[in-house]
């Protein structure tokens, strides 16, 4: 199963000749026991050492996961881009138009309410002036005073009704 090659001696025995070289305890490199051990090592690594296969599968899984994740993120970004485009083109213009229409109506109502308040204020000032003129002239006519008060009260009621109708 395996080819022969040069190997170093592993054993503890001295070589014949009295040198310091160590000798293989199982014999020489080409001995049958050595070849069997080498073959057992290869069989062990092929059958029981799954690291290369696991590393390959892990790399494949990571590659597939990253590709799928990238595609999913691209779909999400594309959907987001479509939503933003639709919002800018359609929804935003409709909102602006609706806002302008409603804003114009609100401004008209506000102008009418302001005009009503100005008229009411002007009438009130005129009535106060008339009342002061009557009191200053010495006109203590109770009937005229009551009529003025009733007219002022009716005017206020009408002005408030007009004001609430505008709002």
Q: For residue range 56-84, what is the model confidence (pLDDT) as tens digits?
A: 888 998 888 888 888 888 899 999 999 99
Q: CB-hemisphere CA count at 13 Å for 1?
A: 12
**Residue 10 pLDDT exceeds 80:** no
| Tens digits of residue pLDDT in 28-57 | 667 888 889 988 888 888 888 788 888 888
Q: 3-state DSSP: the chain helix, strand, coil percent, rounded to 5?
A: 75, 0, 20
- Whole-angstrom Cα distance, residue 128 to residue 120? 12
Mean pLDDT of the chain: 77
pLDDT band at 137 (very low <50, low <70, confident <90, very high): low
pLDDT of residue 6: 44
pTM over 0.85: no
88/26: higher pLDDT: 88
pLDDT above 70 covers a percentage of the chain that reads 72
CA distance 105 to 142: 46
CA–CA distance from 150 to each of 56, 123, 127, 143, 144 (Å)? 101, 14, 11, 11, 10
Q: What is the pLDDT of residues 150-165, one digit of tens each?
A: 888 887 787 776 556 6
């Amino acid at each position: 199963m395996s080819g022969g090659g040069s190997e170093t001696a592993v054993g503890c025995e001295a070589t014949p000749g009295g040198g310091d070289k160590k000798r293989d305890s199982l014999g020489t490199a080409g001995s049958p026991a050595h070849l069997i051990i080498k073959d057992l090592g290869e069989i062990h690594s092929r059958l029981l050492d799954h690291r290369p296969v696991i590393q390959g599968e892990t790399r494949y899984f990571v590659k597939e996961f990253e590709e799928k994740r990238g595609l999913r993120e691209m779909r999400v970004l594309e959907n987001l881009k479509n939503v933003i485009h639709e919002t800018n083109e359609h929804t935003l213009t409709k909102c602006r138009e609706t806002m302008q229409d409603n804003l114009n109506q609100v401004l008209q109502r506000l102008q009418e309410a302001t005009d009503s308040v100005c008229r009411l204020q002007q009438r009130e000032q005129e009535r106060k002036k008339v009342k002061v003129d009557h009191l200053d002239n010495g006109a203590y006519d109770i009937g005229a005073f009551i009529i003025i008060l009733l007219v002022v009260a009716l005017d206020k009621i009408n002005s408030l009704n007009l004001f609430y109708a505008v709002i």
